[in-house]
Amino acid sequence: MPGSSLWLVPPPTHPLHAIITDLITRTLPSAFPDLTGPTFAPHMTLTSGIDPGVYGDDPQGWLDAVPWPRAAGVDVALDRVATQDVFFRRCYLQVAFEDGVRDLAGLARAVGVNGEGYEIGPVTREWLEEWREAFGPHVSLIYGSNPIDDQKLGDISKTVEEAGVSLSSSSEHGSGDASGGRGGWKGGVVWLMPTDKPIDEWKPIATRTLD
């Protein structure tokens, strides 16, 4: 993946941090070994394609200077399990396109890629609509090369819910509580990740907890 990315990671103390980590690294690879590839930290990608020259030799200073929104205004609500025929989106949790998530991703794109400073300008607004139509905010579960058919997708969805994730698309298990429940989380930690490296070398070079 070219350049660097900005991720939003669940708060370390939120139950979904441990649940999704376990799904990515243990449960899904064990249950679906033919589908799962390399593992990674639980996250929602805010934007990718950031030229390292944008943050230069002070990635932490650059990340800290961004006026990130308050944690209370960022609700990451998990909707359903989905798949696309793309390695990095082979299987993921779709996230609701709420204002807080939209604004956070828009700010990340504006400052990291589009050169619009700390404002969500016209270029970023157009990108947000294109992003939403293409795949939108999501939390990846599986990176892989093998297609996932409807039956396997249903099996994965069942496994995810049995692990303790509440999906809003499920009338039986759905939960709108993103603050402390298992249908999502509030706030989180922004990671600056050099995703131009091999996946097994992915480590954040700067982090910022939303207040």
Instruction: Give me 151's structure tokens.
Output: 């039956």
- Quick check: helix, strand or coil at residue 65? helix
Distance of alpha carbon 27 from alpha carbon 141, whole angstroms: 11
- Residue 204 Cα to chain centre, angstroms: 14
43 classed as catalytic? yes
Distance of alpha carbon 87 from alpha carbon 144, whole angstroms: 5
* CA-based R_g, the chain, Å: 16
Write out the catalytic residue numbers: 43, 138
